[in-house]
Structure 1
């Protein structure tokens, strides 16, 4: 996992926050929620392979 992934996650967080605030102030709370959910799913999509590798390494370490 590189620093590049951390910067991408931070960029998504900043973008989701700005878009969410704009949508909330314009009275579209439902759309702001959907933008937040989409941002969360994007970040999870990036993180899941690293979590899988972590559990694979732990399984190999303990020979399970």
Structure 2
């Protein structure tokens, strides 16, 4: 998989995990192994998270 060039403000799709389906996530900070930010759709909408980069499926919109 090609490594994504992520920046704060980007919206990405996070893969499904446990009982949580794929969902949109707005990136606030980018680190070597994860991003931080908030879910913008799905059952976790509005919740803070730190998904690993491997969980990001694709970029939806750039900041």
- Give the TM-score normalised by structure 2: 0.21
Normalized per residue, the structure richer in helix is 1
Normalized per residue, the structure richer in strand is 2
Say which one has the larger Rg. 1
Structure ranking higher on relative contact order (CA contacts 8 Å, 6+ apart): 2
